[in-house]
Amino acid sequence: MRSWGDVMSQPHKKEKENENEKKILQNSSKVTRREALSKMTTAAIGAAAVVVVGGVAYYLSTSQAPPSPPPATTTEVTTAPMTTAAVTQTGLTAGPPIYFNIWAFHPEIVQANMKIFDQEYNENCDILQVPGDYYGSLLTKLMTGPGSRMDMMYLHGDYMTRYYKAGWIQPLNDEEHYNEIRNDYGNKNLLDVLMMPDGKQTGWVYFNGTVPIQYNGKVLQKAGLADDTGHIKSSPKTWDDFVQMCRDIVKSKVVKYAYLPKWIQCSTCGINEVFDEYCISEGELQFDKVTQEPTFENDTVMHILENMRTLIAENLADPGVLALNEQDHITTFCAGKHAFTEVHDYDLVSFNDPTQSPDAGSYHWLPAQPGSKGWYPFMGAIYCITSHEYMKRSANDAKRLERLHQFYAWKDKDGNYVAGKQWIQSPPFLGQPYTQYYDDPATKAAWLKQTYDEGDFETRKNAHLTAVVPPGYHGIVWYSNWHEDLMTTLPKMVLGQMTPQDAMKHMVDTANSLLKDFGGPEIWK
């Protein structure tokens, strides 16, 4: 039992104990939580400082020379200061990896070509596949500038125009082989697609495609419109003929809807693109090439709009297509429930693939595109490279990138067409801008193996080598805005929520308003 004395003396004892504890703690290796945190923080700051200093030192030791204009000749390039890096076969020094940003379409072909390039040129290039929203990702990377691993990319024409105007795309006029490549093009119209109003060329064609009308021979046979071989007896010469043929097919009750137009939900390849197809087949180029003013307010285009409305109003075209995406559109036509559609020509492979379509082998191109001119639209894509100046690229690296660009878009260093061969002679059989590919028996043999027949081959070859580019398509910085607006206006019009006259007025007003807002040819001076 404790006494009162014990109790009274306890605080003093405790104070002494505490002091002793403190001394012990101070002398011992134990640390308090506060001390531990302090030490950890100091260590973290130290480590961060080491990393920052190291990073800066690394950057300074590996950073390139200040940006300079791209070299005009190889001689200039080879006089660039040598680094410790290895010398490549053509006298250029090795450098950082070159990155090619691609959308998700047959990456294995791009990869195979990249492997050939790396081997031939002792290079170090890589592919960055952009899943999902390609242009969203691209815009972010382009705005980031140097360090964004953005050297080469695919672009559609309207995006190319905008990105070039922003200073992100490299003009090619001073490149080695520039004139040679241009002269080599089989379809000279394609050169329009690459040229900006300031006279600068900003890319090379990646694939030479079009969007023709294709038909299911089995359906037409049942409707009495195709011969025993499943080929159309009498191809429609005009769009009125085409609409009438759709009426006949629906009347025969072979299918519910005759036409599955590619009026799908896709801002770069939907109803707006098909509208271009209709216009070009009539020789209507929509915008004046010089003034960039709209030229489509006329009877021909009005009649196109009226026909589009008629196709839905008379139940000739399937309205369900307005909700489809690109892949579903192809799958739907594969099902054999429609007579006509238009798609990118490479999709004929899907239709004639027995694993995808019960009517495989029955799908063909119309022998000629309907319309007063019967022109096919160029609907391809472009290889572009980012601006050397914007990306602070050395002259040596600029030349390395130019070499990669020309390898994909033209020939290798030995003068052989390499990269395009992989595309045109194996699925998906993408067209190329050079006639030599079409004259190569291997191309024809490969296409015929994939159930294309002689007629389809000739029609397709002719279409590729004569396809027309809408002049207003390039050099109009606001073209995407106008084209995107069609994605709202045209569905409303075809569904009857807007008359063709109102749609026309809206389209003209929109074009004029955009021209006023963002400018015409004067912005290129």
Partner 1 sequence: MTRNSGSAKPKRGLTDSQFALFLIIPLVIFQAALSVYPGAVALWMSLQKFNPSGQVMRFYGAGNYIKAFADPEVQASTLISLEYTVTIVVVTVLLGLGVSLLLNEQFKGRSIIRVLVILPWAIPEYATALLYGNVYSQTYGTLNGLLLQLGLIPEYLPIVSIGTIWVLALAYAWHYAPLAIFFFLGSLQSVPEHLYQQARIDGASVFRRFRTVTLPYMRYALLIILVLATTDALKSLDLVWNLTQGGPNGMTRVLTYYVYRATFILGDLGYGAALSFILMLLIMLVTAVYFIVLTRRRR
The answer to whether 316 touches 310, Cβ cutoff 8 Å, is yes
211 counts as binding partner 1 under rule CB under 8 A: no
In the block, residue with structure tokens 């599955």? 260
Residue 104 is a binding residue for partner 1 (CB under 8 A): no
Inter-residue contact 212 to 456 (CB < 8 Å): no
Q: Kindly determine how many residues on this chain lie close enough to bind partner 1 according to the rule CB under 8 A.
A: 42
Q: Which residue in 83, 129, 238, 331 binds partner 1 (CB under 8 A)?
A: 331
The whole-angstrom separation of Cα 193 and Cα 14 is 91
User: From the list 25, 47, 335, 442, which residue makes contact with partner 1 (rule: CB under 8 A)?
Assistant: 335
**Which of 165/460 has CB closer to partner 1?**
165
Coil, strand, or helix at residue 90? coil
Q: Which of 6, 17, 21, 133 lies at the binding interface for partner 1 (CB under 8 A)?
A: 133
Looking at 1-9, 129-137, 206-214, 438-446, which segment touches partner 1 (CB under 8 A)?
A: 129-137
Regarding 20 and contact with partner 1 (CB under 8 A), the answer is no
Rule CB under 8 A: say whether 254 interacts with partner 1: no
Least distance (Å) between residue 37 CB and partner 1: 7
Give the Cβ contact number of residue 414 at 10 Å.
7
Does 354 help bind partner 1 (rule: CB under 8 A)? no
Quick one: how far is CA 515 from the chain centroid?
25
Rg (CA), the chain: 32
Interatomic CA distance for residues 445 and 256, integer angstroms = 37
- Minimum distance, C-beta of residue 377 to partner 1, in the bound complex (Å): 21
DSSP state of 206: E
Could you say whether residue 79 binds partner 1 (CB under 8 A)? no
| Per CB under 8 A, 163 contacts partner 1 | yes
Peptide bond into 428 cis (omega under 30): yes
Phi, psi of 507 (to 5 degrees): -65, -40
Two tokens at 155? 């672009």
Q: Cα separations (Å) of 209 from 21, 377, 428?
A: 85, 8, 11
165 binds partner 1 (CB under 8 A): yes
By CB under 8 A, is residue 255 in contact with partner 1?
no
**68 phi, psi to nearest 5 deg:** -135, 160
By CB under 8 A, residue 266 contacts partner 1: yes
Which is closer to partner 1, CB of 44 or CB of 448? 44
The residues, any chain, with a CB within 8 Å of residue 296's CB and separated by 6 or more, are 279, 284, 286, 287, 504, 507, 508
Strand partners of residue 317:
259
Q: For residues 41 and 32, what is the distance between their CA atoms, to the nearest angstrom?
A: 14
- Residues 443-482, one symbol each (x = binds partner 1 by CB under 8 A, - = not), give ----------------------------------xx-xx-
Out of 88, 124, 148, 265, the residue judged to bind partner 1 by CB under 8 A:
265
- Smaller CB distance to partner 1: residue 460 or 474? 474
Position 319 contacts partner 1 (CB under 8 A): yes
Read off the tokens for 296: 């489509």
Rounded Cα–Cα distance for residues 191 and 185 (Å): 8
| Residue tagged 């707006």 (tokens) | 272
Q: Does 492 bind partner 1 (CB under 8 A)?
A: yes
116 or 266: CB nearest partner 1: 266
- Residue whose CB is less far from partner 1, 365 or 479: 479
Indicate whether 323 belongs to the interface with partner 1 (CB under 8 A). Answer: yes
Check binding of 495 to partner 1 (CB under 8 A): yes
Query: In angstroms, how far is CA 419 from the centroid of its own chain?
Result: 17
For position 322 contacting partner 1 by CB under 8 A, the verdict is yes
| 369 is a contact residue toward partner 1 (CB under 8 A) | no
Q: Would you tell me which residues interact with partner 1 (CB under 8 A)?
A: 15, 18, 34, 37-38, 41, 132-133, 135-136, 139, 143, 162-163, 165-166, 265-267, 319-320, 322-325, 328, 331-332, 334-335, 477-478, 480-481, 484, 487-488, 491-492, 495, 497, 518
